[in-house]
Amino acid sequence: MLKHKVIIFKKVYKTLALLFLGLFYLGTTVIAVQDSLELHSGTVKLIRDGKSQIINNAGETFALQANDRLQTGKKTKITLYLKNRDNTVKLFSNSFFKLDDLAAEENSVALLTGKGNFNVKPLPKTSNTENAEAENSKKGKKLNKFGVKLGAKLAKLKKSKLRGKKKRFNIRTVSAILGVRGTEFVVATGGDTTNLLALSGEVTLASPEIPDYEIPVLANEVSNVREGSGPSIPVAVSPEERDKIAKADGKDSFQEVQFGESESISSIRSRMKSDDETPNYEEEENKEGDLLEQMDRLDELENILDNAENAIDAAKSRLFILSMTFTNRD
C-alpha cells in the first residue's frame, strides 16, 4: 500500500514538474518573440552576429533581437512589431535599418537610409501633461502663421516645455536625431538629409551636430535636417501631400515638398552661447536666379562650341585648299 502511494506521488510530482517546465518555456518563448518581423512583399536580408539570412517568402515572420540589422530589396515592404506590437515600423524598398536597443522602457533604432512609417504607442498621460501638450500644440499652430518668428519661438518652447519629457522611442539617422513619446510619423533619409512628416502627435527633431537644439514637429507638418544645418521651420502640408508621402515607396517620397528655412549649425551655437533667441536663417535659394544663371552658362558654352566648330571648319577649308594647291602643281 505504501509502495503504491509512493508510485502515485512520483507520478504527480513528475506531472507537476513537466507542467512547470512547460509554463516556463511558454513564458520565455513569448518574451523571445515580443519583437518580430513580417515580410509582406519583396526580399529582406537579416544580419545578426556577422551572419546573414535572406527572407523572401511573403507572410513569413521572424523573431528580432537587439543589434539586428535589416536591408530591404526592391519592391519590398516589411513590418516590424516591437514591444509586443505596442510600436510598429513599416519599412519600404532599399532601406537599411538597425535595432540598437529593445529595452522594455524604450526602443532605440537607426534608419541609415530609406523610408519608414512609424507608429509609437503613447505613454500614459497625466492631466498636467495633457494640458501642457495641448498648450504647446496651440502655440505651434499659431506660430506657424507667423513665418520667420516660428524658429525662435519653437526653440524657446522646446527648452521650456518639452526638454524634461521622457521619450519612449528614439531614432537616429546619419543626419538627424528624433525623439518620440507616442505618435505616427514618416521618416525618409539618404545622403546628408533627413525628412520628417508628423501624422499625429508630436516628434522632436535635432541635428547630431547639435543635439541639444531640437524643435517639435506637430501633426501634418514637415521638417528636415541637412548636414551643417539645424532643423528647418516646420510647415504644414495638405492632406493630399500627406497621403502621397505616407504611401510612397522609398526615400524620394519628399521630393516635391517645399520645406521651411533652416539655420546653420555655427549660427545656432553662437546664439545658444549668448542666449540670443533670434534665428539667423540661411539665405533661401533663388531658384529663378539660379535657372537664369544656368541658362547664361549654357549660352556661353554654346558660343564656345560654335566658335570651336567654326575654327575647325576654317582649318578644314585651309587644309582642303592647300591640298588642292599641291594637287594642281603636280
Residues 155-194: tens digit of each pLDDT: 444 443 344 455 668 999 999 999 998 899 999 999 999 9
Answer whether 84's CB lies under 8 Å from 29's CB.
no
Q: How confident is the model at residue 4 (pLDDT cuts 50, 70, 90)?
A: low
What pLDDT score was predicted for residue 275?
A: 77
> Rounded to the nearest 5 degrees, what angle is found at the Cα of 38, between the Cα atoms of 34 and 42?
160
Cell of 276: 540670443
Question: Is it the case that residue 76 has pLDDT exceeding 90?
Answer: yes
Q: Is the pTM of this model over 0.85?
A: no
Instruction: Report the range out of 2-6, 36-40, 290-294 with the highest average pLDDT.
Output: 36-40
Helix (H) / strand (E) containing 326: helix 287-329
Nearest C-alpha neighbor of 207 from the set 191, 192, 188: 192
Beta strand 107-120 pairing with 169-172: parallel
Residues 6+ apart with CB under 8 A from 213: 155, 206, 207, 230, 231, 268, 272
What pLDDT score was predicted for residue 327?
A: 55
Q: How confident is the model at residue 294 (pLDDT cuts 50, 70, 90)?
A: low
167: three-class secondary structure by DSSP:
coil
275: three-class secondary structure by DSSP:
coil
Q: How confident is the model at residue 272 (pLDDT cuts 50, 70, 90)?
A: confident
Summarised one tens digit per residue, pLDDT across range 209-252 is: 999 999 999 999 999 999 999 999 999 999 999 999 999 998 89
Answer whether 72's CB lies under 8 Å from 43's CB.
yes
First to last CA, the chain: 139
Question: Is it the case that residue 47 has pLDDT exceeding 90?
Answer: yes
Beta strand 69-72 pairing with 44-48: antiparallel
Nearest C-alpha neighbor of 164 from the set 183, 181, 188, 145: 181
Q: What are phi and psi of 87, to 5 degrees?
A: -120, 135
- CA 117/CA 246 separation, integer angstroms: 7
Summarised one tens digit per residue, pLDDT across range 86-123 is: 899 999 999 999 999 877 667 889 999 999 999 998 86
Phi/psi zone of residue 266: left (φ > 0), alpha (ψ -120 to 50 degrees), beta?
alpha
Polymer length of the chain: 330
Beta strand 184-190 pairing with 107-120: antiparallel
What pLDDT score was predicted for residue 310?
A: 75
Amino acid letter, residue 311: A
Across 233-252, b (16+ Cβ under 10 Å) vs e yields bbbebeeebbeebbebebbe
Average pLDDT over residues 270-285: 75
What letter would DSSP give residue 105? Answer: S
